[in-house]
Amino acid sequence: MVKSWIFKEKGDAGGWVEHPESDLPGGSVLVDVTHSAINYKDALSITGRAPISRKFPMVPGIDVVGTVREDASSAFKPGDRVVATGFGLGETQWGGYTTTARLKPEWLVTLPDGLSSRDAAAVGTAGLTAALAIDALEAYGLPLGSGEIVVSGATGGVGSFALRLLNAAGYHAVAMTGRPEEEAYLKAQGAKDIVARSEFEGDAKPLAKERWTAGIDVAGGKILANILSTMKYGGSVAACGLAAAMDLPTSVAPFILRGVSLLGVDSVMAPREKRAAAWKRIGDAIRARPLDDMVFEHKFDDVADLAKDLLASKSKGRMVLSW
């Protein structure tokens, strides 16, 4: 038997259910789930605050970490430790809040040697997105020692991991935040300097004083517009979120007068080769500096209360779930 948190239909409050393994939908890889995490989207789903699930019945949990039991496709062998994120997990595909999952091989990446399953769950979608953003900047042509890289939403999951990964790679990261009381936390994650978010919340000028060599933005809207207008000549910005707004109230001036590039970053449908490269970056960084100071471990059975705490801002760090 399998134990899963299941929403049986739209509007159902959901809860833990034991059911036959034969009920599992999905692909050819049978995975014994060891860990997941609580992301903001997971908390919205579990509490019913937002309609995250779009098909029913549905198992929430956008991150899955576990061990392969069997794989009819032969892409993986029994005992392989794997991670899956994106591809509609918890929304249109059964997600990680379960003891066992059936997943498609293209959704999975083998964990790098030395990266624990707990830490992989802590990294999850947030850390993968941050790594993909840095990979995009480097592929565009970001040289080491080239200047300051601004990171918006720096106390959030993507922002915090971006700071850590940039620091591990030797870059000068600047954390943008609206929470100045978190300066010690941000510097502990790898920020060299702090900048106030309020400086970026007004209407953006077509061009402003050049400040940044590159940027990683999770906000969108006026914040992204202001980052673009303050980029140095030839700089690039990796856009990977819309926490502030979906629109972009800017002009073409940064692009045609300073040669600035806006790079779109998607972690949901990124192909396996990109994911594998990003997870290697993550594994290297965590081996050099463990995540113990930001990981808080809990049991899957406590997910409902933990989700409420997250939405009430009563939690911190990364909440990892295990059986």
pLDDT of residue 26: 79
pLDDT of residue 263: 98
Prediction pTM value: 0.91
Bridge partners, residue 295, by sequence: 318
pLDDT of residue 314: 77
Burial 105-121, CB ≥16 within 10 A → b, else e: bebbbbbbeebbbbbbb
* Full set of structural domains in the chain with CATH: 2-110+293-322 (3.90.180.10), 126-264 (3.40.50.720)
Mean pLDDT, 10 residues at a time, the chain of 323 residues: 96 95 94 95 93 95 98 96 97 97 96 95 96 97 88 91 95 95 92 97 97 97 98 97 92 97 96 95 92 91 94 81 97
pLDDT of residue 243: 85
How many other C-beta atoms lie within 10 A of the C-beta of residue 2? 17
pLDDT of residue 311: 87
Contacts 24+ apart (CB under 8 A), 229-233: 229/204, 229/205, 229/253, 229/254, 231/258, 231/260, 232/147, 232/258, 233/258, 233/259, 233/260
How many other C-beta atoms lie within 10 A of the C-beta of residue 160? 27
